[in-house]
A and B are shown apart, each in its own frame.
Chain A
Amino acid sequence: MPATSPFERWRVAYDASTTRDATFTTMSGITLEPVYGPDDAEFPGQYPYTRGVHASMYRSRLWTMRMFAGFGTAVDTNKRFKDIIAAGGQGLSTAFDMPTLLGLDSDDPMALGEVGRCGVAIDSLSDMRDLFADIDLASITTSMTINSPAAVMLALFVAQAEESGVPRDQLGGTLQNDILKEYQAQKEFVFPPRASMRLVRDTIAFTATEMPKWNSISVSGYHIREAGSTAAEELAFTLANGFAYVELARSAGLSVDEVAPRLSFFFNAHIDFFEEIAKYRAARRLWATWMKDHYAATNELSWKLRFHTQTAGVSLTAQQPEVNIARTAIEALAGVLGGTQSLHTNSMDEALALPSEKAARIALRTQQIIAYETNVVHVADPLGGSWYVEELTDELERQAEQIFAEIANFGDGSMLEGCIKGIEENWFQGRIADSAYQLERSFNEGRRTVVGVNDFTEGNNDADLEILRITNEDERKQVQRLNEVKRDRDDGRVALAIEELTRDATDPEVNLMPALINAARANVTVGEMMGALEKVFGRHIEVPTL
């Protein structure tokens, strides 16, 4: 006889899942159920997934403690990656430096002073080899935070992995590849929006057929929030961008069920604890209903919004930086209570510099306290049913729907067109700047408190933390390395690969990934590949507005 009530259906799903080897009781020995709620309520793992995408949530598997790292040369970052793995981190997340993010080689005049500073510098396949040296890419998942040159970086990654003996279909990980939010918030754009979207389309199509374990896009609200949006704007803009990518993939002949399961999401965990938890719950519900009702997805995996969380960089203060450990712990807890699939915790010193090794370790330890000491992981969606959190969830959902309606209106019903038009007309950028300004005024006028900044400032003159210093020596080493690569490669092969790439770029029907992988193998540099594409695509200039 089929199970009838939501509870009974949940029970069947829960019983079918494996659980971790842990004791699911309180500290005092009270036995805990995996979830609480009336029999006819929505349960975790049930559409529309307000309460989580899995029936057993963290009882089966904790979130992935994925610490974002990258600085200096590939050799430096490779060492940090190995430290992260040794300290218990389970996934790698690569931060690239500004020149790499903009597709420039380290010897480009515009790269002066920026090489290796905000992340690792990657110029060619040889840097990719150093970055992942002695790391088994088949047994760990790798996230690469890169957007404008995402297709180029994916090509280098595939070329490197295959050279080291791991075929592309074994590679698990995520490419951020979310170009829409670059124009809206993060501002690391190169090509005009429509040309960039062609590159995104090519990576979606390529990974759909060749890389079954790969998430083609990490649709990111994180940067939208960091740029100053409200929680509702972060939620709505991010999901709208997600809808746009689904429509983009459909225009390339893929079905919604071929693309949606490969999209993952990335949200901020800001300091307003309950609002953040409600935001994650609303995000799952909105995505599920839109995938099912608007896009006619039939695969349950298309309905399930999986997300990575990072604590809010903007909430950190340079004043009394040790206090940031407490902020980050609270934000991380919101991510966990909201059911995140992976988490990065910021380090206390990130309002000052890239994190020191010690600060990064404390940030990871913060996650481990939540995971292994607090017992909050025993019960799924512990705030479900709270009158307060349920109402906040509903309210954020309502506000997001209003914003979706505005965006759809720009695009005459198309979210893809609406997102592009909203960018071209500076609508997203203007809204984010307005929200950032309103928030800043509230701090300046003392209507909101930031500990150590506009109140509780005793201790602000304490001794400085030891911070990570990146010297210009890394820049010199990296440029030297690039010169060696250029000296030692086969120039004829380079010219042919660039010619093929340029030819493919001029035909919008052709997928650019094969030509990019070929160019990567020929030691064509990131700057050369991007330069070839720019000749065909042109460059985006943002009209400066205040």
Chain B
Amino acid sequence: MTVRVLVAKVGLDGHDRGIKVVARLLRDAGMEVVYTGLFQTPETVAIAAIQEDVDVVGLSMLSGAHLTLAPLVVAALRSKGSDIPVVVGGIVPNNDLDDMKAAGIAAVFGPGASALEMVESINAVVRARA
């Protein structure tokens, strides 16, 4: 089965180098990747994820707003009855990892995470849901 991933930028953060590179690396690993563009809200991401019937949502966050915005994406999905897991890549200090986990984020990829680590982790998250 091909893993389908929605990669998304939520909020005002325009740094899109990471998300574009990761999207291509995931494609190289055989995943199907959907990207909805900049300046999305938790609501638009949740709707797109459900419509596209993806297996996982990947958020790219480099502005420091991850603790505010990532949980809102999880909440938006859950409020629509979806259990699609959410992973986050970007600048997330170690101190925030427990809070991210508590908010329902399935995995966090920090700076320097390799393509292999991300692919394996996403596969594990998708398997855990099934």
Contacts and interface: CB of A to CB of B under 8 A. Distances in A.
A187 B64 contact: no
A470 interface: yes
Given A98-B11, A352-B93, A319 B21 contact: no
Given A319-B112, A467-B93, A546-B20, A440 B11 contact: no
28 contacts: A104-B12, A112-B11, A112-B69, A113-B11, A113-B65, A114-B12, A114-B64, A187-B14, A187-B15, A187-B38, A188-B14, A318-B111, A352-B91, A352-B93, A353-B91, A433-B17, A433-B20, A433-B21, A436-B20, A437-B21, A437-B24, A444-B115, A450-B112, A464-B93, A464-B94, A470-B64, A544-B36, A546-B33
Contacts of A113: 11, 65, 67-69
A352 B93 CA distance: 6
Nearest to A433: B20
A542 B67 CA distance: 26
Interface string B30-62: 000101111101000000000000000000000
Interface in A311-366: 314, 317-319, 351-354
B16 A187 contact: yes
Chain B interface category by residue count: 35 or more
Contacts of B12: 98-99, 101-102, 104, 110-111, 114, 188
Nearest to A115: B65
Question: In the complex, which range does the number of interface residues on chain A fall in?
Answer: 35 or more
A408 interface: no
B124 interface: no
B54 to A, nearest CB: 15
A546 B114 contact: no
Interface string A106-136: 0000111110011000000000000000000
A433 B25 CA distance: 12
A437 B110 CA distance: 18
Nearest to B69: A113
A117 B63 contact: yes
B106 interface: no
Contact of B23 (A227, A541, A546): A546
Contacts of B69: 112-113
Given A433-B20, A544-B37, A114 B112 contact: no
A193 to B, nearest CB: 15
B38 A542 contact: yes
Contacts of A450: 112
A454 interface: yes
B68 A472 contact: yes
Contacts of B64: 114, 117-118, 353-354, 470
Contacts of A112: 11, 65, 68-69
A228 interface: yes
A186 B12 CA distance: 12
Contacts of A353: 64, 91, 93
B2 interface: no
Given A114-B63, A542-B37, A98 B13 contact: yes
Interface of A: 98-99, 101-102, 104, 110-114, 117-118, 182, 186-189, 226-228, 314, 317-319, 351-354, 432-433, 436-437, 440-441, 443-444, 450, 452-454, 464, 467, 470, 472, 541-546
B79 interface: no
A319 B94 CA distance: 11
Given A117-B65, A437-B21, A351 B111 contact: yes
Contacts of B11: 98, 110, 112-114
A98 B15 CA distance: 11
A114 B65 contact: yes
B111 to A, nearest CB: 4
Contact of A110 (B25, B35, B41, B67): B41
Contacts of A111: 12
Contacts of B65: 98, 112-114, 117
Nearest to B42: A112
A242 B16 CA distance: 24
Given A117-B63, A444-B114, A351 B91 contact: yes
Given A113-B68, A353-B93, A542-B38, A436 B23 contact: no
Pairs A-B, 4 closest by C-beta atoms: A113-B68, A187-B14, A544-B37, A113-B65
Contacts of A99: 12
Contacts of B33: 546
A228 B17 contact: yes
A176 B102 CA distance: 40
A318 B95 CA distance: 13
A453 B112 contact: yes
Contacts of B36: 544
A314 B11 CA distance: 21
A436 B17 contact: yes
